Amino acid sequence: MKKLCERWRIGFPRIVACGDAQAYALTAFLRQPQPIHRHLYTRNQLQGLAKEIKR
């Protein structure tokens, strides 16, 4: 995450600042055990719709 922020900080300082402030929340999914990743749901409406269509 730090490398990503360093790379984009010059061109997009406001976005990177926002990401820095919320890094813990943005990486919450990655801190969960990998076997349960597929059971976690997203709030992204398009992804949710695609998942429902697959069912």
- pLDDT per residue as tens digits for the range 8-26: 888 888 877 877 677 777 7
CA-to-CA separations, 49 to 8, 22, 37, 52, in angstroms, rounded: 31, 26, 18, 5
Give the range of the structural domain holding residue 16, as residue numbers without chain letter: 2-54
- Indicate whether this model's pTM tops 0.75: no
Query: How many structural domains comprise the chain?
Result: 1
Task: Specify burial of residue 31 (Cβ count, 10 A radius: 0-12, 13-18, 19+).
Answer: exposed
**Tokens describing residue 39:** 């059971």
Is-contact 17 10, C-beta < 8 A? no
pLDDT of residue 23: 75
- Whether residue 41 has pLDDT greater than 70: no
Give the count of beta carbons closer than 10 Å to the beta carbon of residue 7: 11
